[in-house]
Amino acid sequence: MARGGERAGRCGGRWLPWLGLALLPLAVPPAAAPAGCPAACYCVTTPELVQCRYERLEELPRELPVTVRNLSIAGSNLSALPRAAFAARPLPELRLLRLHSDNIQVVEDMALQGLPALHTLDLSHNPLLSVAPGAFSGAPLLRTLQLNQALLAAPLEEQLALAVRNLSLRRLELGGNALRALPTALLPAGLEELDLRNNSLQRLTAAELRSLDAPGLRGLRLTLGANPLSCDCALRPFLAWLRATTARVPDARSLRCSGPSPLRGTALLRLRPDGLVCTGSEGSEPGQLETASYVFFGIVLALIGIVFLMVLYLNRRGIKRWLHNLREACRDQMEGYHYRYEQDADPRRTSAVSTPGL
Protein backbone atom coordinates (compact mmCIF):
# COMPACT_ATOMS: atom_id res chain seq x y z
CA MET A 1 0.00 0.00 0.00
CA ALA A 2 2.74 2.35 1.03
CA ARG A 3 4.75 1.38 -2.05
CA GLY A 4 1.79 2.11 -4.32
CA GLY A 5 1.27 5.51 -2.78
CA GLU A 6 4.95 6.29 -3.11
CA ARG A 7 4.89 5.38 -6.79
CA ALA A 8 1.79 7.49 -7.42
CA GLY A 9 3.49 10.37 -5.65
CA ARG A 10 6.60 10.07 -7.77
CA CYS A 11 4.50 9.93 -10.94
CA GLY A 12 2.57 12.98 -9.92
CA GLY A 13 5.84 14.73 -9.19
CA ARG A 14 7.14 13.96 -12.64
CA TRP A 15 3.98 14.96 -14.48
CA LEU A 16 3.02 17.99 -12.49
CA PRO A 17 5.25 20.49 -14.38
CA TRP A 18 3.93 19.27 -17.73
CA LEU A 19 0.32 19.47 -16.52
CA GLY A 20 1.10 22.97 -15.31
CA LEU A 21 2.51 23.93 -18.68
CA ALA A 22 -0.56 22.57 -20.45
CA LEU A 23 -2.98 24.41 -18.15
CA LEU A 24 -1.02 27.64 -18.04
CA PRO A 25 -2.28 28.98 -21.37
CA LEU A 26 -5.90 28.39 -20.30
CA ALA A 27 -5.38 30.61 -17.30
CA VAL A 28 -3.14 33.30 -18.71
CA PRO A 29 -4.14 34.29 -22.29
CA PRO A 30 -6.90 36.83 -21.61
CA ALA A 31 -4.40 38.98 -19.75
CA ALA A 32 -1.24 38.36 -21.80
CA ALA A 33 -2.44 38.40 -25.39
CA PRO A 34 -5.08 40.22 -27.44
CA ALA A 35 -8.47 38.59 -27.51
CA GLY A 36 -8.61 35.66 -29.88
CA CYS A 37 -4.89 35.11 -30.01
CA PRO A 38 -4.08 31.41 -29.64
CA ALA A 39 -2.39 30.53 -26.41
CA ALA A 40 0.73 29.03 -27.90
CA CYS A 41 1.34 31.97 -30.20
CA TYR A 42 2.75 35.33 -29.80
CA CYS A 43 0.43 37.87 -31.34
CA VAL A 44 1.69 41.20 -32.54
CA THR A 45 -0.64 44.01 -31.50
CA THR A 46 -3.52 43.29 -33.90
CA PRO A 47 -5.43 40.09 -34.41
CA GLU A 48 -4.74 40.53 -38.11
CA LEU A 49 -1.23 39.27 -37.68
CA VAL A 50 -0.58 36.09 -35.73
CA GLN A 51 2.90 34.76 -35.33
CA CYS A 52 3.61 31.47 -33.65
CA ARG A 53 7.30 30.94 -33.19
CA TYR A 54 9.48 28.40 -31.50
CA GLU A 55 6.62 26.93 -29.55
CA ARG A 56 7.05 23.46 -31.06
CA LEU A 57 3.38 23.19 -31.94
CA GLU A 58 2.51 19.66 -33.04
CA GLU A 59 -0.62 20.75 -34.86
CA LEU A 60 -2.14 23.94 -36.16
CA PRO A 61 -3.57 26.16 -33.42
CA ARG A 62 -7.35 25.96 -33.23
CA GLU A 63 -8.54 29.27 -31.79
CA LEU A 64 -7.31 31.72 -34.39
CA PRO A 65 -9.03 35.09 -34.78
CA VAL A 66 -11.40 34.94 -37.72
CA THR A 67 -10.06 38.25 -39.00
CA VAL A 68 -6.44 37.09 -39.20
CA ARG A 69 -4.78 38.13 -42.46
CA ASN A 70 -1.20 36.97 -41.91
CA LEU A 71 -0.48 33.78 -40.05
CA SER A 72 3.07 32.73 -39.45
CA ILE A 73 4.07 29.55 -37.66
CA ALA A 74 7.80 28.95 -37.70
CA GLY A 75 10.09 26.44 -36.05
CA SER A 76 7.33 24.06 -34.97
CA ASN A 77 6.89 20.34 -35.54
CA LEU A 78 3.68 20.06 -37.51
CA SER A 79 4.71 16.89 -39.45
CA ALA A 80 1.77 17.24 -41.82
CA LEU A 81 -0.67 19.69 -43.28
CA PRO A 82 -3.74 17.46 -43.07
CA ARG A 83 -6.80 17.43 -45.24
CA ALA A 84 -9.16 20.31 -44.44
CA ALA A 85 -6.86 21.56 -41.70
CA PHE A 86 -8.72 24.88 -41.60
CA ALA A 87 -12.16 23.76 -42.79
CA ALA A 88 -13.70 23.49 -39.32
CA ARG A 89 -12.82 27.15 -38.60
CA PRO A 90 -12.42 28.91 -41.93
CA LEU A 91 -10.25 32.02 -42.05
CA PRO A 92 -11.97 33.99 -44.80
CA GLU A 93 -9.48 36.87 -44.70
CA LEU A 94 -6.22 34.97 -44.44
CA ARG A 95 -3.98 36.10 -47.27
CA LEU A 96 -0.57 34.97 -46.15
CA LEU A 97 0.25 31.63 -44.53
CA ARG A 98 3.86 31.18 -43.59
CA LEU A 99 4.75 27.68 -42.39
CA HIS A 100 8.48 28.03 -42.30
CA SER A 101 10.77 25.34 -40.82
CA ASP A 102 7.86 23.39 -39.36
CA ASN A 103 9.11 19.89 -40.22
CA ILE A 104 6.14 19.42 -42.57
CA GLN A 105 6.58 16.22 -44.57
CA VAL A 106 3.13 15.61 -45.98
CA VAL A 107 0.63 17.96 -47.58
CA GLU A 108 -2.68 16.17 -48.00
CA ASP A 109 -5.45 16.73 -50.51
CA MET A 110 -7.52 19.88 -49.89
CA ALA A 111 -5.20 20.93 -47.06
CA LEU A 112 -6.00 24.59 -47.72
CA GLN A 113 -9.76 24.25 -47.68
CA GLY A 114 -11.30 27.07 -45.65
CA LEU A 115 -8.78 29.66 -46.81
CA PRO A 116 -10.62 31.19 -49.78
CA ALA A 117 -8.53 34.40 -49.83
CA LEU A 118 -5.10 32.78 -49.46
CA HIS A 119 -2.67 34.53 -51.75
CA THR A 120 0.75 33.45 -50.48
CA LEU A 121 1.82 30.10 -49.06
CA ASP A 122 5.32 29.64 -47.71
CA LEU A 123 6.39 26.07 -47.12
CA SER A 124 10.10 26.82 -47.21
CA HIS A 125 12.61 24.87 -45.14
CA ASN A 126 10.40 21.82 -44.71
CA PRO A 127 11.50 18.28 -45.60
CA LEU A 128 8.55 17.57 -47.90
CA LEU A 129 8.13 13.90 -48.78
CA SER A 130 4.71 13.92 -50.38
CA VAL A 131 2.35 16.49 -51.81
CA ALA A 132 -1.09 15.30 -52.87
CA PRO A 133 -2.33 16.26 -56.37
CA GLY A 134 -5.14 18.33 -54.82
CA ALA A 135 -3.02 19.78 -52.03
CA PHE A 136 -3.58 23.40 -53.03
CA SER A 137 -7.03 23.06 -54.62
CA GLY A 138 -8.81 24.68 -51.67
CA ALA A 139 -7.11 28.03 -52.33
CA PRO A 140 -8.24 29.30 -55.72
CA LEU A 141 -6.54 32.68 -55.28
CA LEU A 142 -3.10 31.28 -54.49
CA ARG A 143 -0.59 33.34 -56.46
CA THR A 144 2.72 32.91 -54.64
CA LEU A 145 4.14 29.56 -53.59
CA GLN A 146 7.43 29.48 -51.72
CA LEU A 147 9.25 26.18 -51.62
CA ASN A 148 12.81 27.24 -50.86
CA GLN A 149 14.86 24.36 -49.46
CA ALA A 150 11.71 22.25 -49.32
CA LEU A 151 12.47 19.71 -52.04
CA LEU A 152 15.69 18.29 -50.64
CA ALA A 153 14.23 15.28 -48.83
CA ALA A 154 12.66 13.51 -51.80
CA PRO A 155 12.33 13.82 -55.59
CA LEU A 156 9.02 15.63 -55.62
CA GLU A 157 8.85 17.16 -59.07
CA GLU A 158 6.23 14.82 -60.48
CA GLN A 159 3.92 15.17 -57.48
CA LEU A 160 4.29 18.92 -57.42
CA ALA A 161 3.67 19.17 -61.14
CA LEU A 162 0.21 17.66 -60.56
CA ALA A 163 -0.44 19.85 -57.53
CA VAL A 164 0.36 23.16 -59.26
CA ARG A 165 -1.06 22.26 -62.68
CA ASN A 166 -4.41 23.99 -62.28
CA LEU A 167 -3.25 26.91 -60.15
CA SER A 168 -2.93 30.44 -61.45
CA LEU A 169 0.44 30.95 -59.81
CA ARG A 170 2.31 34.15 -60.51
CA ARG A 171 5.40 33.56 -58.41
CA LEU A 172 7.18 30.32 -57.56
CA GLU A 173 10.25 30.14 -55.34
CA LEU A 174 12.46 27.08 -55.60
CA GLY A 175 15.70 28.41 -54.15
CA GLY A 176 18.25 26.14 -52.48
CA ASN A 177 16.79 22.88 -53.76
CA ALA A 178 19.92 21.47 -55.44
CA LEU A 179 18.08 21.46 -58.80
CA ARG A 180 20.31 20.42 -61.72
CA ALA A 181 17.82 21.25 -64.46
CA LEU A 182 15.02 23.70 -65.09
CA PRO A 183 11.91 22.08 -63.54
CA THR A 184 9.85 22.60 -66.69
CA ALA A 185 6.97 20.43 -65.44
CA LEU A 186 6.49 22.75 -62.45
CA LEU A 187 5.82 25.89 -64.43
CA PRO A 188 2.10 26.54 -64.80
CA ALA A 189 1.06 28.76 -67.68
CA GLY A 190 0.88 32.40 -66.65
CA LEU A 191 3.78 32.17 -64.19
CA GLU A 192 5.57 35.51 -64.02
CA GLU A 193 8.44 35.01 -61.57
CA LEU A 194 10.56 31.97 -60.88
CA ASP A 195 13.28 32.03 -58.26
CA LEU A 196 15.96 29.42 -58.92
CA ARG A 197 18.79 30.96 -56.92
CA ASN A 198 21.22 28.79 -55.02
CA ASN A 199 20.59 25.60 -56.98
CA SER A 200 23.00 23.33 -58.88
CA LEU A 201 22.34 24.55 -62.42
CA GLN A 202 25.40 24.53 -64.68
CA ARG A 203 23.47 25.90 -67.63
CA LEU A 204 20.04 25.95 -69.23
CA THR A 205 19.93 23.69 -72.27
CA ALA A 206 18.52 24.61 -75.65
CA ALA A 207 15.45 22.44 -74.99
CA GLU A 208 14.85 24.15 -71.63
CA LEU A 209 15.16 27.55 -73.27
CA ARG A 210 12.58 26.53 -75.88
CA SER A 211 10.16 25.60 -73.09
CA LEU A 212 10.59 29.12 -71.68
CA ASP A 213 9.33 30.46 -74.98
CA ALA A 214 6.12 28.42 -74.81
CA PRO A 215 3.04 30.67 -75.14
CA GLY A 216 2.09 30.53 -71.43
CA LEU A 217 5.60 31.34 -70.22
CA ARG A 218 6.69 34.21 -72.45
CA GLY A 219 6.17 36.64 -69.56
CA LEU A 220 8.25 34.59 -67.13
CA ARG A 221 11.27 36.19 -65.47
CA LEU A 222 13.72 33.98 -63.64
CA THR A 223 16.48 34.68 -61.14
CA LEU A 224 19.48 32.40 -61.35
CA GLY A 225 22.10 33.78 -58.94
CA ALA A 226 24.34 31.46 -56.91
CA ASN A 227 24.24 28.60 -59.41
CA PRO A 228 27.49 26.87 -60.49
CA LEU A 229 27.32 28.10 -64.09
CA SER A 230 29.92 26.38 -66.23
CA CYS A 231 31.29 28.69 -68.93
CA ASP A 232 32.24 26.16 -71.59
CA CYS A 233 30.84 25.63 -75.06
CA ALA A 234 27.72 23.90 -73.68
CA LEU A 235 26.70 27.27 -72.25
CA ARG A 236 26.52 28.88 -75.71
CA PRO A 237 22.73 28.54 -76.26
CA PHE A 238 22.00 29.94 -72.81
CA LEU A 239 24.48 32.80 -73.17
CA ALA A 240 23.05 33.76 -76.55
CA TRP A 241 19.53 33.67 -75.09
CA LEU A 242 20.63 35.67 -72.04
CA ARG A 243 22.23 38.39 -74.15
CA ALA A 244 19.14 38.63 -76.33
CA THR A 245 16.59 38.62 -73.48
CA THR A 246 18.43 40.12 -70.52
CA ALA A 247 15.19 41.57 -69.17
CA ARG A 248 13.89 38.08 -68.47
CA VAL A 249 16.67 37.43 -65.97
CA PRO A 250 16.56 40.29 -63.44
CA ASP A 251 19.89 39.25 -61.90
CA ALA A 252 21.61 38.65 -65.27
CA ARG A 253 24.26 41.26 -64.60
CA SER A 254 25.42 39.57 -61.45
CA LEU A 255 25.69 36.06 -62.93
CA ARG A 256 29.25 34.76 -62.91
CA CYS A 257 31.09 31.71 -64.16
CA SER A 258 32.03 29.18 -61.52
CA GLY A 259 34.25 27.27 -63.97
CA PRO A 260 36.44 26.39 -65.83
CA SER A 261 39.19 27.90 -63.69
CA PRO A 262 40.48 30.57 -66.12
CA LEU A 263 36.97 32.06 -66.31
CA ARG A 264 35.96 31.61 -62.67
CA GLY A 265 34.31 34.79 -61.40
CA THR A 266 33.94 36.37 -64.84
CA ALA A 267 30.62 38.10 -65.42
CA LEU A 268 28.61 36.03 -67.88
CA LEU A 269 27.48 39.02 -69.92
CA ARG A 270 31.11 39.95 -70.65
CA LEU A 271 31.55 36.73 -72.61
CA ARG A 272 30.56 36.02 -76.20
CA PRO A 273 28.90 32.72 -77.04
CA ASP A 274 31.46 31.88 -79.75
CA GLY A 275 34.30 32.68 -77.35
CA LEU A 276 33.36 29.79 -75.09
CA VAL A 277 35.61 26.80 -75.67
CA CYS A 278 34.95 23.14 -75.05
CA THR A 279 36.97 21.89 -72.13
CA GLY A 280 36.52 18.26 -73.07
CA SER A 281 34.70 17.42 -69.89
CA GLU A 282 31.58 19.47 -70.27
CA GLY A 283 28.43 17.68 -69.34
CA SER A 284 30.25 15.11 -67.23
CA GLU A 285 32.33 14.98 -64.11
CA PRO A 286 36.06 14.37 -64.61
CA GLY A 287 35.80 11.12 -62.63
CA GLN A 288 33.06 9.82 -64.88
CA LEU A 289 35.09 10.75 -67.90
CA GLU A 290 38.10 8.79 -66.68
CA THR A 291 36.01 5.72 -65.99
CA ALA A 292 34.42 6.06 -69.41
CA SER A 293 37.82 6.25 -71.10
CA TYR A 294 39.09 3.19 -69.21
CA VAL A 295 36.04 1.25 -70.29
CA PHE A 296 36.58 2.41 -73.87
CA PHE A 297 40.23 1.41 -73.71
CA GLY A 298 39.27 -2.03 -72.42
CA ILE A 299 36.76 -2.52 -75.22
CA VAL A 300 39.34 -1.56 -77.84
CA LEU A 301 41.86 -4.01 -76.36
CA ALA A 302 39.25 -6.77 -76.34
CA LEU A 303 38.40 -6.05 -80.01
CA ILE A 304 42.05 -6.20 -80.99
CA GLY A 305 42.36 -9.51 -79.17
CA ILE A 306 39.33 -10.94 -80.95
CA VAL A 307 40.62 -9.82 -84.35
CA PHE A 308 43.98 -11.39 -83.58
CA LEU A 309 42.36 -14.69 -82.64
CA MET A 310 40.22 -14.61 -85.80
CA VAL A 311 43.24 -14.01 -87.99
CA LEU A 312 44.94 -16.94 -86.31
CA TYR A 313 41.89 -19.11 -86.84
CA LEU A 314 41.34 -18.19 -90.49
CA ASN A 315 45.00 -18.63 -91.24
CA ARG A 316 45.34 -21.95 -89.42
CA ARG A 317 46.52 -23.85 -92.53
CA GLY A 318 49.15 -21.29 -93.30
CA ILE A 319 50.21 -21.43 -89.68
CA LYS A 320 50.37 -25.21 -89.78
CA ARG A 321 52.54 -25.00 -92.88
CA TRP A 322 54.67 -22.42 -91.23
CA LEU A 323 55.03 -24.55 -88.10
CA HIS A 324 55.87 -27.51 -90.31
CA ASN A 325 58.56 -25.47 -92.10
CA LEU A 326 59.84 -24.28 -88.78
CA ARG A 327 60.05 -27.82 -87.50
CA GLU A 328 61.85 -28.89 -90.69
CA ALA A 329 64.27 -26.04 -90.32
CA CYS A 330 64.81 -26.97 -86.70
CA ARG A 331 65.36 -30.55 -87.62
CA ASP A 332 67.93 -29.58 -90.29
CA GLN A 333 69.63 -27.43 -87.75
CA MET A 334 69.56 -30.17 -85.14
CA GLU A 335 70.94 -32.64 -87.64
CA GLY A 336 73.72 -30.20 -88.36
CA TYR A 337 74.46 -30.03 -84.63
CA HIS A 338 74.21 -33.75 -84.31
CA TYR A 339 76.71 -34.20 -87.09
CA ARG A 340 79.08 -31.69 -85.59
CA TYR A 341 78.65 -33.24 -82.19
CA GLU A 342 79.46 -36.61 -83.59
CA GLN A 343 82.50 -35.13 -85.21
CA ASP A 344 83.43 -33.42 -81.94
CA ALA A 345 82.96 -36.68 -80.17
CA ASP A 346 85.41 -38.38 -82.53
CA PRO A 347 88.19 -39.63 -80.18
CA ARG A 348 90.95 -38.90 -82.70
CA ARG A 349 89.84 -35.31 -82.96
CA THR A 350 89.47 -35.01 -79.23
CA SER A 351 92.95 -36.25 -78.53
CA ALA A 352 94.32 -34.06 -81.32
CA VAL A 353 92.67 -31.05 -79.71
CA SER A 354 93.57 -31.93 -76.11
CA THR A 355 97.27 -32.85 -76.67
CA PRO A 356 98.60 -29.29 -76.91
CA GLY A 357 97.05 -28.47 -73.51
CA LEU A 358 98.87 -31.27 -71.75
Ligand X SMILES: *[C@@H]1O[C@H](CO)[C@@H](O)[C@H](O)[C@H]1NC(C)=O
In what helix (H) or strand (E) does residue 213 lie, and over which residues does it extend? none
Smaller CB distance to ligand X: residue 131 or 196? 196
Q: Least distance in Å: CB of 111 to ligand X?
A: 16
Helices (H), 213-315: 236-244, 286-314
Smaller CB distance to ligand X: residue 80 or 87? 80
Q: Least distance in Å: CB of 24 to ligand X?
A: 20
Smaller CB distance to ligand X: residue 38 or 134? 38
CB-based closest residue to ligand X: 176
Q: Least distance in Å: CB of 290 to ligand X?
A: 27
By the 10 Å C-beta count (0-12 exposed, 13-18 middle, 19+ buried), 222 is classed as buried
Q: Least distance in Å: CB of 147 to ligand X?
A: 12
* Alpha-carbon dihedral angle through residues 252, 255, 257, 263, given to the nearest 10 degrees: 80
Distance separating alpha carbons of residues 232 and 203, to the nearest angstrom? 10
Smaller CB distance to ligand X: residue 58 or 63? 58
Smaller CB distance to ligand X: residue 176 or 237? 176
AA identity, residue 306: I
In what helix (H) or strand (E) does residue 52 lie, and over which residues does it extend? strand 49-53
Q: Least distance in Å: CB of 79 to ligand X?
A: 4
- Please choose, from the candidates 258, 188, 236, the residue with its C-alpha nearest in 3D space to the C-alpha of residue 216: 188
Smaller CB distance to ligand X: residue 216 or 228? 228
Q: Least distance in Å: CB of 95 to ligand X?
A: 7
Distance separating alpha carbons of residues 58 and 85, to the nearest angstrom? 13
Residues that bind ligand X (CB under 6 A): 48-49, 58, 70, 77, 79, 96, 149, 176, 178, 198
Q: Which residues contact 132 (CB under 8 A, 6 or more apart)?
A: 107, 108, 109, 111, 159, 163
